[in-house]
Chain A
Amino acid sequence: MRARTWRRHLVPYLLIAPAIVYLALFFAYPMYEGLVLAIYDDDALLPLRSEPTSDAAEVAEIPQGTGLQILDRQSRAMIDDGGGDLLTEQWFRVSGAGDTGAAVDGWVSEARIRVREEDAAGNPLAGTVRPRLGQSADPLTDVHAEPNDRSGVVGRLEQRAPVAITEVALLEVWFLVQPADDPGAAAGWAPSRYLQVFDDGESGRVHRGTAGEFTTAFIERMVDDRFFGPALRTTLLIMALLIPLQLVLALVMALVIHARIRFSSGFLYVFALPIGMSDLAVGILFFSIFTGNGLLNSILDGLGIIDGPFAFLTAETTNWIIFAIVLAELWRATSIVMVILVAGLQAIPDETLEAAELFGAGYWQRVRHIMLPLLRPSIQVALILRTILAFQVFAVVIALSGGDVVTVLANESFRQYVDLRNDNVASAYALFILLLSIASAVFYLRSVRAESEVRAS
């Protein structure tokens, strides 16, 4: 019995399982990644190791950008954890006659061998030992057991001695480094790919790390950005102008359609037409109206109101640009609100409105006392939708201002990502827009619910 109820309760969960997988894959995961991008710097810290190998113990973690003093270098077999600007060295396995006359077979750095002979594919076959310049230089070259200058010496070669090259190894250089401004700090080894080296290998800095940490750096950079303030202000200004206008206009349109006067279905099609247009197309359309030789100037000029074309869309006339943006958005998106309100009006039973009429309510009294209160849930949905869309306004702004003179939050996210190649700060902008959207939705839901609770009690 209990098993059966359990099974019965499981069925809905099985049915929504695909939806949960879908949400996880296409909604939650990208959101999570975006969040991580905005607040988690995944190459903030570089671990230093006790030996020049990635298996060795960590002696310290130093942050990205730290100035370094380079104490030593060594070549090590490549660690294969991705690319980067590698500093590499080739080592050759050579065989030839040693300084004692005995045969020597071992590894020598490419710096000590001049390649004399290559096969068709360019692989070295034979060479000679480079001579060392200078009076005090050691005339002999060490031959190592392993392709590593710390390994044991198996023999020595005279300079200019001919050798056969039997094998080639590609090695990465490791540096023994210590933070430059802290002589007391522990020194450790790090591979070349994470460092930038200056001054002939005397000093350097940490280019990027391998370990991440949470950081507010990207958010700080967003807030400190000189376009952040204007973008936020403009976005809020457009919202404050747009949403009340849109609501009133959409309500009037919805009432016209609901009144079922002649041609009201024709009105519906005309009103709904802009829903089918892309926002960029609408932006370009309004650009063509407001631009220097555009429709508006032609009309004003033709009517003799102005003498020459008035430049509406310039850096000196940002108010006109904002006016044009609000007008374009009003034209484009009011019908979405209208459709929601029409659906809400149609959900009010005819008898309810007839009862109000019969009990003496005139048209405006019916709108005020019956339709508006019963439309409240639809208005709430429309407000949430419009506010969220207003936070995302983008293409119209780009079309009318080029994205420089007047900027909005979504445009800043775009600019950070595309122009400045800073996907972390771009993510921080996106996250900020998301937070504003959630906050506005919660505000609308709360305010309406609070009111209905007050009325119910």
Chain B
Amino acid sequence: MAEIRLEQVTKRFGDKVAVHDTSLTIADREFLVLLGPSGCGKTTLLRAIAGLGMADSGRITIGGRDVTYLPPGQRQISMVFQSYAIFPHMTVRDNIGFGLQMNKVDKAEISRRVGSAAELLHIEDLLDRRPSAMSGGQRQRVAVARALAMEAKVLLMDEPLSNLDALLRLEMRAELKRLLADVDATTVYVTHDQIEALSMGDRVAVMRDGEIQQCDAPNTVYESPSNRFVGSFIGNPPMNFLDGAILRSDDDVVVAVGHHEFSPASGVRPLIRDLSGNRVTLGIRAENMETLTAPGPDTVPVRVDVVEPLGAQNLLTVQVAGHRLKVSTHPTLRVAADDELHIRFPADQIRWIDPATDKVLHTR
């Protein structure tokens, strides 16, 4: 059992709070991704788990053991560093076996584990070479093999793919996912790449300004973001946002955006009605809007500004009541700039956001 539990962890660098009062529980053998823009504190949080830089306050336990004040070497963890941190003066074999050697594992066991780790990452024939003459991809494999050879209960990865070129990153992403599925370790993976996060994680924790905004399964994070930031940070293009005015009547509530009135799904209606102000923000993803060439029920007429053909889809930029929306359409839809289109917003795909708190209104 290696459940990682963070309780109100705070880490400061001088006056700057890098991680603020964060609590998180990562289940045994879970693959958790920490996702966020640069400077959001995700690496600091990972390093706090690793013990490289003690938390200023709070408590960290791994498998029920309090490790808050333990040095990294005693936490029974292993890690892949962003720069790989391969030891340049050692052969690949010595690099992979370094942790085992430091932990006084016996020689036969070291060579068995080094062999199997190297085999997993297909670097058996590099074992006697030195890292100085290797490509970035090969070094990356050595770094992962070194981490896996420890057979630790907790595996930490700090943007392991960020130094690879795009094609190699794509390949390594799938390979890492396959590898880590077979490893019995609780994995914490830091990245700023949302595709990596969504494709690899069991759960994704989205961070911003030292706080976790949402921690859910990738689909949930994508489909029902907890707040405006998560919606805008995840997805390419980001979620569209429209400002609307709440029009309350005795038994109903509608939201007006320009000349168009939206009827919220029945579940959120009371929540919108209970909002203190008269404004609400409407969020919808580009691919969740229906594009029609002729007006229909509940459609909004729009003018097309830009058409960007992307192969699998066409990305349109359209104007609605002073807002610019990104709409993705099927590539067979023939459309050009300045054309008039009609867009329907399915009520169940609209997320309603309280502009005062930026939080998404959830039905539950």
Contacts and interface: CB of A to CB of B under 8 A. Distances in A.
Nearest to A456: B130
A349 B103 contact: no
A361 interface: yes
Contact of B72 (A351, A357, A370, A373): A357
B150 interface: yes
B98 A359 contact: yes
B321 interface: no
Interface stretch (B77-85, B224-232, B341-349): B77-85
B102 interface: yes
Contact of A358 (B79, B86, B89): B79
Contact of B82 (A351, A376, A455): A351
Given A352-B85, A374-B88, A358 B52 contact: yes
Nearest to B149: A359
Most interface-central of A355, A357, A361 (chain B CB within 10 A): A355
B88 A359 contact: no
A144 to B, nearest CB: 89
A360 interface: yes
Interface in B56-100: 71-74, 77-79, 81-83, 85-90, 98-99
Given A361-B102, A456-B130, A356 B87 contact: yes
Interface in A374-395: 374, 376
A358 B72 contact: yes
Given A349-B85, A351-B82, A374-B88, A358 B146 contact: no
B73 A361 contact: yes
* Interface of chain A, main secondary structure: helix
A374 B85 CA distance: 13
Contact of A360 (B52, B86, B99): B99
A360 to B, nearest CB: 4
Nearest to B129: A456
Contacts of A455: 130
Contacts of A354: 52, 72, 81, 85
A281 B103 CA distance: 52
A308 interface: no
Contact of B73 (A359, A370, A373, A376): A359
Most interface-central of B50, B74, B89 (chain A CB within 10 A): B89
A352 B87 contact: yes
Interface residues on B, range: 20 to 34
Contacts of B83: 349, 351
B71 A357 contact: yes
A441 B345 CA distance: 79
Interface string A324-352: 00000000000000000000000001011
Given A349-B85, A374-B88, A359 B78 contact: yes
* Interface of chain B, main secondary structure: loop
Interface string A269-311: 0000000000000000000000000000000000000000000
Contacts of B88: 352, 374
Contacts of A373: 89-90
Given A349-B85, A374-B89, A358 B130 contact: no
A357 B73 contact: yes
A455 B150 CA distance: 25
B87 A370 contact: yes
Given A358-B50, A361-B73, A456-B130, A351 B85 contact: yes
Nearest to A374: B89
Interface in B87-126: 87-90, 98-99, 102-103
B102 A365 contact: yes
A376 B89 CA distance: 10
B73 A351 contact: no
A362 interface: yes
Nearest to B51: A358
Given A373-B90, A374-B88, 7 more contacts: A351-B82, A354-B52, A355-B85, A356-B87, A358-B79, A359-B102, A365-B102
Interface of B: 50-52, 71-74, 77-79, 81-83, 85-90, 98-99, 102-103, 130, 146, 150
> 9 smallest A-B Cβ distances: which pairs?
A359-B99, A355-B85, A360-B102, A351-B85, A360-B73, A373-B89, A358-B72, A361-B102, A360-B103
Interface of A: 349, 351-352, 354-362, 365, 369-370, 373-374, 376, 455-456
18 contacts: A349-B83, A351-B81, A351-B85, A352-B88, A354-B72, A354-B81, A355-B79, A356-B87, A357-B71, A357-B73, A359-B78, A359-B98, A360-B73, A360-B102, A360-B103, A361-B73, A362-B102, A456-B130
